[in-house]
Amino acid sequence: MNVRSLFKNSRFLHRWVGVVCAFFLVILSVTGVLLMHYDELGLNHKEVDGAFLPDKYFQIESGKRQVQALAGTPEGTKLFVGARHGLFRSVDRGKTWTHLKEGLFSQDIRALALSPQMPDIVYAGSPQGIFKSEDGGEHWSDWFDVASGLAHPVVSHLAVHQKDPDIVYAVTNGGLYSSDDGGESWKLSFAGKNSDSPPTIHQVVFSSVDLDTVYLLTNQGVYRKNEESDWENVWEDRLPIPHSLISLSAEPEFFYAGTQEGLYKSFNGGRSWVRDRNNDIESVHLIQSSEKNISHLIVASIDQIFQTKNGGDEWKEISLSDVKDELNAPIKIGDLLYLGEVNHSVLLLASDQGLIVSSDEGKTWRVPELETNSEKLASEDRKMDLVKLITEIHTGRFFGSYFVLLVDLATLGLLGLVFSGFWILYQRNRGRKKKLLLSNQEEVEETMIELQETAEDLSLESTEVHDMIEHIGQHLEKCRTVYLSKERKEIDEIGRHITTLDKKMHRLMERIEEFENISKN
């Protein structure tokens, strides 16, 4: 592979991955600073116009009449209904209903809870987290999800402390979460004792005698927590697994529990349980009691309702035949709410066929229309909390699947940079070694050439020395003759030749010594 070409391509990859990473860094940095200092910057409780926001935040699911959650004030003067297609409120005991939309970008409302101490504080649970209103549902300025610590935002049940509106419990698809600051932060409170088979949680119930005691209904039994102990399994051998539970203020504490095997009750704080003797009540999923009269109970199965006004000594079935005929369909009851006093009460049923309301304790029923005509909120209702919008951008949910694709591409690009970097380092190191080897070979060749030239020079000089020696020999022969004839001129010539010969001999010795040094190297 051509290293130069590879390096050029990696630089191109470097450039675009750098652009993407810089984009991520800018978004995370700016939104992170805004989220850390939103209060100081005055961003809290501010709304932005949703005209340019994605439609996914303002979708309304139409064509589904299923009602999933009910809540209201004790007197029944303010009622809330959570449906698959929206949240509705009534201030006239269920006669007319208003669709609440401002700030609720999720219209699939699965849980509702009001603060008994401050009825204007309303919590609404959805598959996208929990919404909070502090003005009776007019505005939903707070939204709690993963960023608030609610790691599993699909909420199915909510419960608010009787005296402290800041203490909230939320049942989610990942366990029970709790908040002690009005929902601003959440922590996991219970996820089961066995992580291999986590329980399915049905309901959270506060004790009416000790408000710091909480009961948790699961498919693995009832767990209890108070100030003295953490979650512990109670009534394991005394009570079938219940689907619903109510605690009545008495001394000792009264309990009613709805199970698949019927209605069970305890009048000694849960130490012992007995099954209600009415055999008509075969399975109980929901239980409600009157705020003014704890002996007035209403229980419901999947499609039946029973009522007692003397603590269970006598039960009377509340007929649903008229409403079934009106709807021309069977009814599956999902929630039950009874509020108010006799002659001023309201009974609500949440069903798969919609909301069913009675103002005379079940003698007559009506089915109010809760449908919406549009699948999207009107333009004047398209508003979103600014802090929540920043949170959506910071977590990447605002960008949807494209953002996820961009993250995947950036991740692949970074991996490509890592591997290409290692490959380039390997190729460069290999090239340096090859270049060093070639350089050493060239040096050896140059040395051999120098040796050869030096040897040739020495050969020439040795020839010259040999010739000079012969010449000296001739002159020495002449010396005898000269000395014999005593010719001065010839003696000087011989001296000159001897001096030249001496210089040549010294030069030859120097070259021979230099040749020996080169040979050693």
- By CB atoms closer than 10 A (0-12, 13-18, 19+), residue 509 is exposed
Query: What is the spatial order of strands in the sheet that 111-114 belongs to?
Result: 111-114, 122-126, 129-133, 142-144
Cβ-contact 25, 363 below 8 angstroms? no
Q: Once rounded to an integer, what is the mean pLDDT over residues 163-176?
A: 92
Task: Name the percent of the chain lying above pLDDT 90.
Answer: 32
> Measured between alpha carbons, how far is residue 270 from residues 224, 282, 311 in Å?
11, 21, 17
Per-residue pLDDT of 228-268, as tens digits, reads 888 999 998 899 999 999 999 888 899 999 999 999 999 99
Which pLDDT does position 443 carry in this prediction?
Answer: 80
Contacts of 435-444 spanning 24+ positions with Cβ under 8 A: none
Q: Which of 269, 271, 235 is nearest to 253 (CA)?
A: 269
* pLDDT 10s digits, 102-138: 878 788 899 999 998 898 999 999 998 999 999 999 8
**Range scoring the smallest mean pLDDT among 105-109, 374-378, 416-420:** 374-378
According to the 3-state scheme, what is the secondary structure of 337-406? EEEEECCEEEEEEEECCEEEEECCCCCCCECCCCCCCCCECCHHHCEEEHHHHHHHHHHCHHHHHHHHHH
pTM of the model: 0.66
Residue 258 in tokens: 């709805």
Largest Cα–Cα distance of the chain, in whole Å? 173
Alpha-carbon torsion 203, 208, 214, 216, what sign?
A: negative
* Higher pLDDT among residues 471 and 161, named by residue: 161
The tokens describing 100, both together, are 């609440």
Structure tokens at 255: 């309990």
Average confidence (pLDDT) over 186-199: 82
Neighbour count for residue 515 (Cβ, 10 Å): 15
pLDDT for 381 equals: 61
Structure token digits, residue 419: 């591997």
Tokens (6 digits) for 282: 């075969």
Residue 482 makes CB contacts below 8 A (sequence gap 6+) with: 490, 491, 494
Under the banding of pLDDT at 50, 70 and 90, the label for residue 486 is low
- pLDDT of 116 reads 86
| Lowest-pLDDT range of 70-79, 200-209, 369-378, 496-505 | 369-378
* CA Rg value for the chain: 48
Question: Who contacts 76 (Cβ-Cβ below 8 Å, separation ≥6)?
Answer: 93, 339, 340, 344, 345, 346
Nearest CA-CA partner of 71 in 131, 115, 130:
115
The DSSP secondary structure of 217-276, one letter per residue, reads EETTEEEEE-SS---EEESTTTSPPEEEEEEE--SS-EEEEEETTEEEEESSTTSS-EE-
Q: Which of 78, 131, 69 is nearest to 104 (CA)?
A: 131
Side-chain-side CA neighbours of residue 34 (13 Å): 17
Give the bridge partners for 297, in sequence order: 289, 308
Q: To which residue do tokens 């049940």 refer?
A: 157
Mean pLDDT computed over 154-162 = 94
The angle formed by the CA atoms of residues 217, 222 and 228, to the nearest 5 degrees, is 115
Q: In which band, very low, low, confident or very high, does the pLDDT at 373 lie, cut at 50, 70 and 90?
A: very low
What is the residue whose two structure tokens read 């959650």? 69
Mean pLDDT of the chain: 81
Q: What is the mean pLDDT of residues 213-223?
A: 94
Residues sharing a CB contact under 8 Å with residue 98, sequence separation 6 or more, in sequence order: 88, 89, 90
Q: Where is pLDDT greater, at 26 or 463?
A: 26
Strands 214-218 and 201-206: antiparallel
Token pair, residue 74, equals: 């004790």
